[in-house]
Every structure is written in structure tokens, then in C-alpha cells.
């Protein structure tokens, strides 16, 4: 049986050092300089925020979690998920079928067919946006997490191992000096040699890790370019969608004043001295009628003239004082401020 006593001794010393540190029995521990600690903290933030950003963009591209899972499976099987009709195309097909059933010569049937063809174009535009966002934003950031960030995590783990070995060697040398009279010269020399070797390996690994941490500046620059590509993709998608809908409006003979008057809701009137509330927790809006807010924000409660705030209301309409954005938030996320006397 091939058993390396030196390797086993190193593992034992490392485990002993780790355990003593966890139990608070170690006074002298190798500490990193402030600059290195800041680099480590920035790396942790980069990893956490990149994971959150990709997750949220993925949700925007495909809000339905079941569809996201199916798309992932199809991609892993090397099938083209984009060939599957999306919700816009499905609606378009349904409208065209209904229009043909009612009769293309009828006014309603003709309008349904035109709307159906429009939604098929919207579906195609949405697919192009998803593909563009995936190539320009999602894939580079996920490649960063799977490649550079994993490599950095591995090097940081190795650095921690080298630090444990260094501190264990220092502890061993310290104990040898304390009992110098009873320790053979060869053993003392061995502890000195072990310490020098551990210090050399630690310094080398520290430099490797520092270089990788410094490289995050380039990664941030690349991520910025990916973000710009995402914005350009969104802009192109919305411009294309607006053009498709404008063409549909002309085909249906709708005037701008007619369409606007039927879609723009009336703005509720607020009282002269609105009640205020303080946001207790962050809230992310899930539809266009809701409003995203941050904890500790002060907002105005929107009420019609002579309307009182109901104690039973589960949702409350609020307005941000500076941006004048309005929307609903759950009552539980707000602490209603008392009326001033």
C-alpha cells in the first residue's frame, strides 16, 4: 500500500490549524492587506450580482418558469427551441383561424386576420430579441461565471489551503523554539525548512490570486459592453414592435385620437395634503399597475377627493414625490405615517 507519510502529516497539520481557528484557539493568523481584502470583497459582489442579473434577465426573456425549463431541456438536446411558437405567435394563429371562420369578407373577420398577422410579426420580433439578448448578454455573463469566476474560486480555495499550511508551520516552529532544549537540532532545522517552503508557496499563490482579482476590471469592462448590447437589442425590439402596431392601426383605419382616448386611463385626483407612508421592505412590481419601491422610501398615498384610507385595503396606490411615478403596492410593505395635527 502506497502511503505518503509527509502528505498525511501536512493534511493533519492543516486540519488541526483549521479546527483551532474555528474554535478561537489561534492568536497569530496570517492576515491579508486591506487592498487584497477589498479585491476579495469586490469579487464576491461581482459573482453575486452577475448571478442575480442573469437570473432576472432570463425571467424577462421568458417569464414562464415552465417555458424556461422546457427551453433549457431543448437546448441541452441540441434542438432549436426558437422554432416553437411563442405566445404572440399562438395568439396570431388563433386570431387568423377565427377570422377565417367568421369570413375574411366580413369586417370583424378581416380585422381578426390583420391582427393575427400583426401578432405573428410581433412574435418573430420577440424571438429575434431573445436570440440577440442571449448572444450579446446572457451567454458572455454565464461564460464568465462558468469560466473565469470558477477558476478564481478555485485559486482562492488553494490560497486558503496555503495559508493554513503556513500558519501551521509557524505554530510548529514556535512550539519547537519554546522547547528548544528538548528538541534535536535536526528537528528544529526541519521546522525552519518547512516554514520557508510554506511561505514560498503561500506568496506564489497569493500573487496568482491577486492577478486574477485584478483581472476583474477587464471583466467589468466587458460586462459593460454586453449591457450596452442588451439596451440596443431592447431598443430595436420595441421600435420594431411599434412599427408593426402602427401599420396595423393604419390597416384598421384607427386614428391616433381614437386609440389614445380608449387606452389612457384618467388620473385620480389627490387631496391637497396627501398622507404619507414609509416603505418597510423592497418591493418589485410584477405588472404595469404596480410600482417598485425601496425600503425606507417616503411615498405619498393617492386618494380621490373625500376618499378615506380603508383599514381593509390589501393594496394601496402610492406616488413617489419626486418622479411622480404611481402604482400599487401591498399594504403590508408600508408603514402608514400618522396625520400631522
The per-residue pLDDT for 10 is 67
Per-residue pLDDT band for 61 (boundaries 50, 70, 90) equals confident
Contact 177, 192 (CB under 8 A): no
Contact 216, 43 (CB under 8 A): yes
What sign does the dihedral 126-128-129-131 (CA atoms) show? positive
pLDDT in tens, 211-225: 999 998 899 999 999
* Strand spans (E) along the chain: 276-279, 298-301, 315-319, 326-330, 334-336
Cβ neighbours around 227 below 10 Å, total: 15
Better-scored residue on pLDDT, 264 or 285:
285
The per-residue pLDDT for 73 is 46
Residue 185 confidence (pLDDT) above 60: no
3-state DSSP call for residue 330?
Answer: strand
% of the chain with per-residue pLDDT over 70: 76
The per-residue pLDDT for 45 is 95
Residue 257 confidence (pLDDT) above 70: no
**Average predicted confidence (pLDDT) for the chain:** 82
- HSE value, Cβ hemisphere, 13 Å, CA-based, for 338: 2
Angle, CA of 112, 115 and 121, to the nearest 5°: 145
- Tell me the mean pLDDT in the region 66-90: 63
- Tell me the mean pLDDT in the region 246-272: 63
Better-scored residue on pLDDT, 210 or 75:
210
- Tell me the mean pLDDT in the region 233-238: 95
Per-residue pLDDT band for 289 (boundaries 50, 70, 90) equals confident
3-state DSSP call for residue 128?
Answer: helix
CA nearest 46: which of 152, 191, 167? 152
Per-residue pLDDT band for 340 (boundaries 50, 70, 90) equals low
Residue 190 confidence (pLDDT) above 80: no
Q: How far is CA 140 from CA 69, 148, 219, 230, 256, in A?
A: 20, 11, 10, 12, 42
The per-residue pLDDT for 77 is 44
The per-residue pLDDT for 212 is 93
The per-residue pLDDT for 181 is 54
Which residues lie closer than 8 Å to 271 by C-beta, 6 or more apart?
303, 305
Residue 6 confidence (pLDDT) above 60: no
% of the chain with per-residue pLDDT over 90: 47
Better-scored residue on pLDDT, 129 or 322:
129
Per-residue pLDDT band for 313 (boundaries 50, 70, 90) equals confident
Per-residue pLDDT band for 25 (boundaries 50, 70, 90) equals low
The per-residue pLDDT for 7 is 62
Catalogue all structural domains in the chain, each as residue range(s) with its CATH number: 8-181+191-252 (1.20.1270.60), 276-336 (2.30.30.40)
3-state DSSP call for residue 268?
Answer: coil
Q: How far is CA 229 from CA 68, 136, 139, in A?
A: 22, 6, 12
The per-residue pLDDT for 175 is 74
pLDDT in tens, 100-154: 999 999 999 999 999 999 999 999 999 899 889 989 999 999 999 999 999 999 9
Which 8-state DSSP code applies to residue 267? P
Looking up cell 391616433, which residue turns up?
A: 256
Per-residue pLDDT band for 83 (boundaries 50, 70, 90) equals confident
Looking up cell 485559486, which residue turns up?
A: 155
The mean-pLDDT minimum among 58-62, 131-135, 281-285, 306-310 falls in 306-310
Cβ neighbours around 251 below 10 Å, total: 14
Amino acid at each position: 500500500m502506497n502511503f505518503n507519510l509527509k502528505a498525511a502529516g501536512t493534511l493533519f497539520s492543516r486540519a488541526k490549524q483549521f479546527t483551532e481557528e474555528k474554535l478561537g484557539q489561534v492568536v497569530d493568523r496570517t492576515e491579508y492587506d486591506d487592498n487584497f481584502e477589498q479585491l476579495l470583497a469586490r469579487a464576491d459582489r461581482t459573482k453575486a450580482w452577475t448571478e442575480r442579473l442573469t437570473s432576472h434577465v432570463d425571467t424577462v426573456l421568458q417569464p414562464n418558469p415552465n417555458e424556461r425549463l422546457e427551453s433549457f431541456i431543448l437546448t441541452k438536446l441540441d434542438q432549436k427551441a426558437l422554432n416553437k411558437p411563442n405566445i404572440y405567435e399562438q395568439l396570431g394563429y388563433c386570431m387568423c383561424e377565427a377570422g377565417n371562420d367568421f369570413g375574411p369578407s366580413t369586417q370583424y373577420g378581416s380585422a381578426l386576420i390583420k391582427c393575427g398577422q400583426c401578432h405573428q410579426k410581433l412574435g418573430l420580433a420577440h424571438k429575434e430579441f431573445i436570440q440577440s439578448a442571449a448572444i450579446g448578454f446572457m451567454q458572455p455573463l454565464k461564460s464568465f461565471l462558468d469560466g473565469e469566476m470558477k477558476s478564481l474560486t478555485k485559486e482562492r480555495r488553494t490560497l486558503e489551503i496555503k495559508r493554513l499550511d503556513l500558519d501551521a508551520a509557524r505554530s510548529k516552529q514556535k512550539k519547537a523554539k519554546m522547547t528548544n532544549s528538548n528538541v534535536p537540532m535536526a528537528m528544529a532545522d526541519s521546522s525552519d525548512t518547512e516554514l520557508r517552503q510554506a511561505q514560498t508557496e503561500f506568496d506564489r499563490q497569493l500573487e496568482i490570486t491577486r492577478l486574477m482579482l485584478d483581472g476583474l476590471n477587464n471583466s467589468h469592462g466587458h460586462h459593460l459592453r454586453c449591457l450596452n448590447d442588451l439596451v440596443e437589442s431592447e431598443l430595436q425590439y420595441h421600435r420594431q414592435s411599434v412599427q408593426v402596431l402602427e401599420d396595423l392601426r393604419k390597416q384598421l383605419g384607427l386614428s391616433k385620437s381614437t386609440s389614445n382616448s380608449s387606452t389612457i386611463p384618467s388620473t385620480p385626483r389627490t387631496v391637497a395634503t396627501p398622507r404619507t407612508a414609509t416603505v418597510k421592505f423592497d418591493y418589485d412590481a410584477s405588472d404595469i399597475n404596480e410600482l417598485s419601491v425601496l425600503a425606507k422610501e417616503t411615498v405619498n398615498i393617492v386618494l380621490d377627493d373625500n376618499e378615506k384610507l380603508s383599514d381593509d385595503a390589501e393594496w394601496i396606490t402610492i406616488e413617489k414625490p419626486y418622479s411622480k411615478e404611481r402604482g400599487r403596492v401591498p399594504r403590508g410593505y408600508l408603514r402608514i405615517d400618522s396625520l400631522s395635527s
